[in-house]
Structure 1
Amino acid sequence: MTSQIPDTFIYNGEEYELIALDGEGLITPQDYGMNPEMLHTACYRGFYSTYEITNDGLFLTEMVIGEVEEGYKSIQGIMPTLPNKNSSNYPTYKRLRLLTTFTGKIRLGKDFIQELYVHMGYQKASAYKTLLEFTFEAGKLVSMQDISASNAKKRGNFKKKFETGDIVQNIDESFSLNIEIE
């Protein structure tokens, strides 16, 4: 198994990785009638996205997508840029500005601690120095809280559990973005 590519979020000009969420309304290819094939072992779900958080809300700005048997569809009137035959890139929807309907909480991490890397699923909050928690209502930003200090007290917890706990449960949890899994 392989660590998965997380969605990227831009906030105040800085890049963060999606660590966990509790809510619904992030945009997927399925919202547009597309069911992508996996890109590779680091992207089983077949796509990954870039979002931007502003005072106006949570916007999808880019989506990289795997092969779609039924054909690529327009998102906001935009078709994906297709890679040339000699490229290792994937079809990418660029220059989007699509307000999400996300309602709930999102945790974003930055400053990953390489020694806490788990070679499976998504990296967890306890492996990041910087951790921010955002609350949204219908895509609109309600609040942001820096929870890095409280997260530091849990540093490395998931990796320790992953290496010593129940293997099946650990695999399931590593691929989950459930906000309760730390």
Structure 2
Amino acid sequence: MSEQIPDYFKYNKENDSKYSKKKHYELAAIEKDWPFIPEKYGYHPVDHFTGCWRGFHCLYEMDDLQLLLKSFFVTLDCSVVSLPDLNGVSGKKGYGGFWEYKQVNLPLGYSGGIILCDELVGQDYLFGGYERMHHFRDVVELRFENGIVTSKIDHSDMMKEIRGFTDLSFLEQEELVVDYFSLYSNKWINYYML
């Protein structure tokens, strides 16, 4: 199974300063419906290759605690000749058949939680095309109200502890993660399985 292109999230968990270097986290899970749905903006992504089942991927960023869609990359049917602008930005044909929209800076009014992951350190195989949260060194949960971050929790130490249970099978470790993220078990969804 092909590894999927993740959505990335530019965020600095240490001091939240937009002026310092931000890390690129993978957007791993969301609590509620995500506010950026390409179809609502006039785009109809197609599954162009096995590394991007959804037909698009995005870069999000925090700017003064405001959630922004920074860049959008989408594959469309070959018959599409005219694309709509996105927040005043025109698309350009890019690498791998993607149309690229860079520096979009579209504010998103999301209310709910997200889980971000960075620096793969766990198992060296994929499950369903994506790594699991406990396979990452940095795991952060952010909560938003109308697109503004209201709280953050660093779950990195707990994920490290779960990785340390080497006598447990992959599925047993996964069950620990689900139990740990009590919201995750029935409320959170795997962002990539949308």
Question: What TM-score, normalized by structure 2, do the two folds share?
Answer: 0.74
Q: Are 2:11 and 1:3 equivalent residues in the alignment?
A: no
What residue is the counterpart of 1:169 in the other structure? none
Tell me which amino acid in the other structure corresponds to 1:23.
K
1:82-138: CA deviation from partner (whole Å, max 9, x where unpaired): 13xxx5352100111111121111110111126333153322101101101000111
Q: 1:25 to 1:91 in 2, by over 3 A?
A: same
Conserved? CA contact 2:122–2:134, under 8 Å: no
CA distance in 1, matches of 2:75, 2:164: 32
What residue is the counterpart of 1:80 in the other structure? 91
CA distance in 2, matches of 1:159, 1:58: 37
Conserved? CA contact 2:10–2:23, under 8 Å: yes
Q: 1:156 to 1:39 in 2, by over 3 A?
A: farther
Share of identical aligned residues, percent? 27
1:1-182 equivalent positions in 2, closer than 5 A: 1-12=1-12, 13-68=22-77, 71-83=82-94, 88=96, 90-113=98-121, 115-118=123-126, 120-155=128-163, 160-161=170-171, 178=189
Between the two proteins, the alignment pairs up a number of residues equal to 162
Conserved? CA contact 2:74–2:100, under 8 Å: yes
CA distance in 2, matches of 1:73, 1:122: 31
CA distance in 2, matches of 1:27, 1:136: 15
1:16-43: CA deviation from partner (whole Å, max 9, x where unpaired): 1111111223312112121111131011
What secondary structure, in the 3-state scheme, does the structure 1 residue paired with 2:153 have?
A: strand
1:77 deviation in Å?
1.4
Unaligned runs of 5+ in 2: 13-21, 173-187
1:148 deviation in Å?
0.5
What residue is the counterpart of 1:174 in the other structure? none
Q: Which has the higher contact order (CA 8 A, sep 6+)?
A: 1
Tell me which moved more, 43-52 or 18-27. 18-27
Conserved? CA contact 1:16–1:108, under 8 Å: yes
CA distance in 1, matches of 2:156, 2:146: 26
Conserved? CA contact 1:4–1:44, under 8 Å: yes
What secondary structure, in the 3-state scheme, does the structure 1 residue paired with 2:45 have?
A: coil
Conserved? CA contact 2:88–2:104, under 8 Å: no
Tell me which amino acid in the other structure corresponds to 1:130.
D
> Any runs of at least 4 consecutive aligned residues in structure 1 with deviations exceeding 4 A, and if so which?
68-71, 156-159
Conserved? CA contact 1:125–1:151, under 8 Å: yes
